[in-house]
Each structure stands twice: as structure tokens, then as C-alpha cells.
Structure 1
Amino acid sequence: MQRYFVSPEQFQGDLVSVTGEDARHISKVLRGRPGDTFIVSDGASREALVKIESIEQSGVTASVIEPLDMTQEPRLKVTIAQSLPKGDKMELVIQKCTEIGAVSFVPFLSERTIVQYDAKKESKRLERWRKIAKEAAEQSHRNIIPSVEQPVGWKKLLETFEDYDTVCFCYEKESGSQLRDVLGPFATQALKEPESTASLLLLVGPEGGFTEEECRAAEAAGAVSVGLGRRILRCETAGMTALACALYESGEMGGV
């Protein structure tokens, strides 16, 4: 069933208003009519199955049929920190990792980042990335829209490590600790209570990978360097793989 995100203010008692592009999608693309149903979520605390009451120039008004439980989000809150890749690879990372279950994205600049950062261009890209996250969240029936932060520098990113319960630095040269070695014990301990949650930051490098100096700096800041197996993954694949493994180990995908 089609799902849309609205702001909390768009809920007024048992009525909800849908405006802008979403309203146009309902009326023009789906050719919605009074009586048709869809799901709306405020991305925070309220979600409901609703029925169209009217379609006007200003938007679509719908009435609540029944409230829905917001149970789609993983207890392990994973943030993907992705060094800016070339072309539209970041769009793919955001789209697919949103579908899998990431809660936020932090693009950053590292030593081997190829992309030339331009603040004016990045503001437009950021707007597009956030739109992609919203559409992917709707398609995959998420309860929230993952946040996409402004790109940050490497040193600034290191300063945020203390905000997470654990940080994994995905490093292709790591021959010791593998991702599962870290995530298994962490998930078991952090999520041992049924209602408990935990936060994880996954660092993924650019096309050329991280330097040894960056690895040492990340470990000094509190990250654990981990490998993702014996094969070398593309930068847009590594984040998806690590995220899926993390959610599996936390029991989100059939893990124990």
C-alpha cells in the first residue's frame, strides 16, 4: 500500500492533509478518488491508515481509519558514514541502505576522496539525497525518513565517534578482526533487553580506500578496524554489506 510522510502539524485530530508533490502524486499519478486508502506517517510518533475525503487544488484531505503501530525500525540504529564517491554512487548508497534499515547518513571527505567538494553544488545534491531517502523510506515502509547530514571533513567526523555506542572502521587491509567478531558480542550485550536500543557508526572509504594514517587516527578516536571478508568491495557496496551484516547480527534478519 502507498505510504507518505507528513509533518506532525498535518495531523489535525482524525484528519490529515497531504500537500505538495505527494498530493500531486495521489491525484495525478495514482488518480486517487474519495474512498481510496493509503498510509501516512509523521516520521516520529504517529502513523495511520487513512481514507481520502477530498482532493482540492491545495492538497488532499484524508480521515483516519485506524492508527498503526510503528514497529518497522530496527533496535540497532546504524549510521553510514560514507566518503563522498564519484558520480551518482552516493544516491545508490542512500537508496539501498535506507531500504535495508540505516537511520542516518554522514557524507565526509577523506584523503583519497576524488570528488571536488563545492558547497553550492553540494546544497543541491543534499536536497536530492534527502528526497531519495524519503522515497526509499516510503517504498520500504519505514517509520522514519533517515537523515542525510551535510558533508563534513575527516577531523570533524572523528569528533563525533563519542556519540555512538560503537564505531566500526571498514578497512580492506584489516586481517585480524572481521565485522562479525565485533558485531556479534556487541549486539548480544547492547540489545540483551527486549526494549533496548544501541547505536553503531559504520565508516566506509572512497574508491581508493582509506590510508594507513586514517586507520590509525580512527582507532585512536575509538573506532574498531574491521574487515568485510577476503574480497575487495566497491565503495558503494561496502556500506550495504556491512549494514546488512550488522542488522543480521542484531537479530533483525533472522540472526540469534
Structure 2
Amino acid sequence: MQRYFVPETDWDNMNVTIQGDDAHHINRVMRSKEGDSVICNHPNGKAAICEISEIESSKVYLKIQEWLDTSAELPVEVTISQGLPKGDKFDLIVQKGTELGAHSFIPFNAERSVVVWDDKKMDKKMKRFAKIVKEASEQSHRNRIPRIMPMMTLSELIEESSNYDVKIFPYEEEARSDHHKSLGKIVKGLEAGQKLLVCIGPEGGFSANEAEELTKNGFSPVRLGPRILRTETAALYTLASISYHFEELGCN
């Protein structure tokens, strides 16, 4: 059943109105008819099966039939702070990261980031990212749309990190160490409801200065297996590991 995220202003008791691109999708792409059902997600995370009562060119009117008591959210809130990568890799990270359960994303301007996002480019990219995470949330039947936070510097990221229970950063030097700290050890120590911040370097990895600053401010360097992963793979590896631990092994 198709799922749509509907702004709070378009909910009224037992009635829901879908507008804009989603209304066009229902009408022109799905070619839905009155009496068909879709799932509507409220910003509070709740979802309901709704029946289409009327279709206009730019609006679709629905009536709530049944509230659903299910959630597809990870038991821990995982924020991915991603060092700005080249090309469209960030698109892939937010899309697949959303499918794997990320709670939010923070673009991070690392020392070794090759790309530069000025204000104009940033505004354009944020709009694109918002569209990507919304569509990925609908496709994967998420209860919430992940938040894309403003781009941060290292110092801003460290300040933001005070809001998290656990903070880690995959580090190549840790992967080569005989006394490494594995992601598995970190995940086993997590408890449902905690907030985890994962800071991932760009293609060139973290500089020695960045690694020192992160460690000094409570981030634990970790190894993501014995292989060196690409920057766009690291976040997905981490999220998949957390999902497997909590959702498949049932370790809550």
C-alpha cells in the first residue's frame, strides 16, 4: 500500500488532505480512484490507513479508516555526520541511510573534503536531500522522515555532540591496530532509546588533528571490519550492523 507523509496542517479530526506533488502522484502516477486506500503518516510518527473520498487535480481528500500500531524505526536514534564527499555520493548516503533507519544526517566540512558547498549550492542540495529522504521514507515504510541538519564545521559538530549518549568515528588507523575497538563492542553496549552520533570522514579520511580533537571530545575511534571501506559504504555498514543487532537478533 502506497505511503505518504502529510503535514500536520492537513489533518483534521478523521479527515486528511494530500496536496501538491503527492496529490499528482496519486492522481496521475498511481491512477487511484475514490474508494482506494493509502497509508498516511502524521509528523508525530503515527500512521493510518485512509480511504480516498474525493480526487481533484491538485488535492486528494481522504477519511481515516484505521490507525496502525506498528513502527519501522530503529530502537536507537542514529545520526550520521558525513564528511562532504565528491560527486553525488551524499545522495546515495541519505537515500540508503534512510532505508536502513538513520534518524538524521549532518553534512560535515572535513579538512580533507575536496568539494566546497557555498550558500547557493547548499540551499539547492538541501532541497534535493529533503526530497530524497521523503521518497526513501515512503518506499521503506518509515514512520518518520530523517532530518537533514545544516552543514557543520568540526568545532560545531563537537558542540552538537553534547546532545548524544554515544559518539564514534570509524578510523583507518584503528582498523590496522592489534588492539582495536570494534563496532560490535560499541553496538552491544547500546540501549534502546539512546542517541548515537557516527562521524565519518570524506574520501581522504580524517586528518591526525581531527582524529585527536574527536577523541579528546568523547568520540571513540572504531574499526568497521578488517577492510578499509569507502566513505559512502561506512555509514551503511554501521546502520546495517545496528539494525541486525537490535531488529534481527532482538538484542534490546
Q: Does 1:252 align with 2:209?
A: no
Deviation at 1:70, TM superposition (A): 4.2
Q: Could you say which residue in structure 2 is the equivalent of 1:211?
A: 207
Mapped partners of 1:252, 1:202: distance in 2: 19
Q: Which amino acid aligns with 1:236?
A: E
List runs of 5+ in structure 2 lacking aligned partners: none
1:26 counterpart SS class: helix
Say if 2:136 is the partner of 1:117.
no
What is the alpha-carbon distance in structure 2 between the residues aligned to residue 59 and residue 154 of structure 1?
A: 44
Distance in 2, matches of 1:220 and 1:89, equals 29
Gaps of 5+ in 1: 192-196
1:51-90 aligned at under 5 Å gives the runs 51-90=51-90
Partner of 1:177: 181
Answer whether contact 1:171 1:210 (CA < 8 A) is retained: yes
Q: Whole-Å Cα distance in 2 between the matches of residues 104 and 74 of structure 1?
A: 12
TM-score by length of structure 1 reads 0.93
Letter in 2 for 1:205: G
Match of 1:194 in 2: none
Structure 1 Cα separation of the partners of residues 5 and 140 of structure 2: 12
CA distance in 1, matches of 2:145, 2:131: 10
Deviation at 1:255, TM superposition (A): 4.7
Matches within 5 A, 1:5-20: 5-20=5-20
Match of 2:194 in 1: 198
| Count of aligned pairs between the two proteins | 247
1:42 Cα offset (Å): 1.2
> Contact 1:73/1:143 (CA < 8 Å) preserved in 2?
yes
- Structure 1 runs (4+) deviating above 3 angstroms are none
* Secondary structure of the structure 2 residue equivalent to 1:173: helix
Conserved 8 A contact 1:15-1:64: yes
Q: CA RMSD in A?
A: 1.1
Distance 1:142 1:45 in 2: 9
Alignment TM-score, normalising by the size of structure 2: 0.95
Structure 1 position 10, deviation (Å): 1.0
Equivalent residue of 2:247, what SS? coil
Q: 8 Å contact 2:24–2:58 — kept in the other structure? A: no
